[in-house]
Amino acid sequence: MIEFRQVHFSYNSREILKDVNFSVGFHERMAVLGGSGEGKTTILKLILGLIRPDGGKIFVDGEDITVKQESELRDIRMKFNMVFQDGALFDSLNVKENVAFCLREYTNLSEDAIDKKVRRILHTVGVEHALELMPEELSGGMHRRVSLARSLALATPLMFLYDEPTTGLDPLNADNICRLIADLSREGKGFIMVTHKVSDALKVADRFVFLRDGRLLFDGNSHELLNTTYTDLKAFVGEVVPRDSSHAR
Ligand SMILES: Nc1ncnc2c1ncn2[C@@H]1O[C@H](COP(=O)(O)OP(=O)(O)OP(=O)(O)O)[C@@H](O)[C@H]1O
């Protein structure tokens, strides 16, 4: 479980998060919704201990990560599989080498075992045909899949953390990524998906929180989200989900 207790965070003197409280089980499928710059990615970075809060506590698996040394945070980070928005790949390496890179860096696997593992993972994310392609030859959707494959190569996480996984993709590719996210969460491994695309969040998540002005102002299921009477959230949801949406459950 991840728990935020009265978390405050500022960049320089600008308050980004103000008294944020929530807990989420590793098996849950939660979307963090909010407009641009509201602090959604900041929440993911705090969970990984990449940045520290100015106030409050963050517990991961019962451990207070706000008091951990950098060396101890590695074990915490291994519990998660984080896919960042830009998912930067190494430009000079092809798809296969990009995925193999961290296996060579961090494991003692033989070249043969690495080759098998890379092929299996690329098959999982549906880009096995792109083994030899260079990053510049990939479409946005394929690029996102290879980034996901690369982070899947190293760890079998307790939970996935996705930062805007469908932003910038055309509807077809966005849909494919949503399907992949749903598939990867089948075995009880949950995720936190940060996004401003409510319609994509509705395809995969069953819990939704809404971040506005540094606070979590909503926490509910899809039915509650689509029927909210909270004006700001209603406007946010209404912008992206037509009133007669078939997503309504
Ligand atoms: N390293 C940094 N230094 C200073 N300000 C930062 C830094 N990183 C982010 N910010 C600012 O903090 C705020 C929250 O950033 P964050 O990336 O968490 O937002 P977000 O909700 O994920 O937005 P988006 O959907 O646009 O990615 C933004 O206004 C951003 O400009």
2-54 confidence digits (pLDDT tens): 999 999 999 998 999 999 999 999 999 999 999 989 999 999 999 999 999 99
DSSP letter for 52, please: -
Do 192 and 126 lie in one domain? The reply is no
Q: How far is the CA of 41 from the centre of ligand 1 (A)?
A: 7
More confident residue, 86 or 55: 55
Q: Which domain holds residue 152?
A: 87-156
Residue 198 belongs to domain with CATH number: 3.40.50.300
Domain count, the chain: 2
Nearest alpha carbon, ligand 1 atom 26: 36
What does the pLDDT read at residue 242?
52
Same domain, 132 and 194: no
Residues 29-67 as b/e (b if ≥16 CB within 10 A, e otherwise) read bbbbbbeeebbbbbbbbbbbbeeebeebebebeeeebbe
Last residue of one domain, picked from the residues 124, 156, 188: 156
Q: 91 and 59, same structural domain?
A: no
User: What confidence tens digit (pLDDT) does each residue in 171-217 have?
Assistant: 887 888 888 888 888 878 899 999 999 999 999 999 999 999 999 99
- What residue ranges line ligand 1, CB within 6 angstroms? 11, 16, 34, 36-42, 196
Index of the ligand 1 atom closest to the CA of residue 211? 21
Burial class (CB in 10 A: 0-12, 13-18, 19+), 95: buried
Which of 13, 38, 52 to mutate for ligand 1's pocket (most ligand atoms within 8 Å of CB)?
38
* Dihedral sign, Cα of residue 105, residue 111, residue 114, residue 118: positive
Distance in angstroms (rounded) separating the CA atoms of residues 93 and 100: 10
Q: How many whole angstroms separate alpha carbon 43 and alpha carbon 56?
A: 13
Q: Which of 12, 14, 16, 161 to mutate to test the pocket of ligand 1 (most atoms within 8 A of CB)?
A: 16
Choosing from 132, 156, 180, the residue where a domain stops is 156
- Based on the domain organization, do 100 and 171 belong to the same domain? no
Do 166 and 240 reside in the same domain of the chain? yes
Q: Side-chain half-sphere of 239: how many Cα atoms within 13 Å?
A: 11
Same domain, 149 and 198: no
Main-chain dihedrals φ then ψ at residue 168, nearest 5 degrees? 85, 0
Q: For residue 90, what pLDDT is reported?
A: 84
According to the model, what pLDDT value does residue 248 have? 38
Ligand 1 mean position to 134 CA, how many Å? 30
Domain final position from 136, 156, 176: 156
pTM of the model: 0.85
Q: Lowest mean pLDDT of 7-11, 141-145, 229-233, name the range.
A: 141-145
Q: What is the pLDDT of residue 202?
A: 95
Question: ipTM of this complex > 0.90?
Answer: yes
CA of 85 to the centre of ligand 1 (A): 12
Tell me the CA distances in angstroms from 126 to 24, 92, 122, 191, one per residue in order.
Answer: 29, 22, 6, 20
Q: Specify whether 73 is located in the same domain as 175.
A: yes
| Terminal Cα distance for the chain, rounded | 27
**126 and 208 share one domain:** no
Q: Kindly report the protein residue whose alpha carbon is nearest to atom 10 of ligand 1.
A: 11
pLDDT of residue 31: 97
Domain shared by 27 and 74, yes or no: yes
pLDDT at 240: 57
CA 186–ligand 1 middle distance (angstroms) = 31
Contact residues for 49 (Cβ-Cβ < 8 A; gap 6+) = 65, 68, 73, 76, 77
CA 38 to ligand 1: nearest atom = 21
CA-closest residue to ligand 1 atom 4: 11
Residues 208 and 103 in one domain: no
Q: Which of 37, 35, 36, 49 is nearest to 7 (CA)?
A: 49
Phi-psi category of 193—alpha, beta or left, where left has phi over 0 and alpha has psi -120 to 50?
beta
* Secondary structure class of 85 (helix, strand, coil): coil
What pLDDT sits at residue 247?
Answer: 47
Task: Average the pLDDT over 145-155 and give the result.
Answer: 78
**Per residue in 82-130, pLDDT tens?**
777 666 788 899 999 998 987 887 778 899 999 998 998 888 778 889 9
**Same domain, residue pair 75 and 168:** yes
Residues 169 and 143 in one domain: no
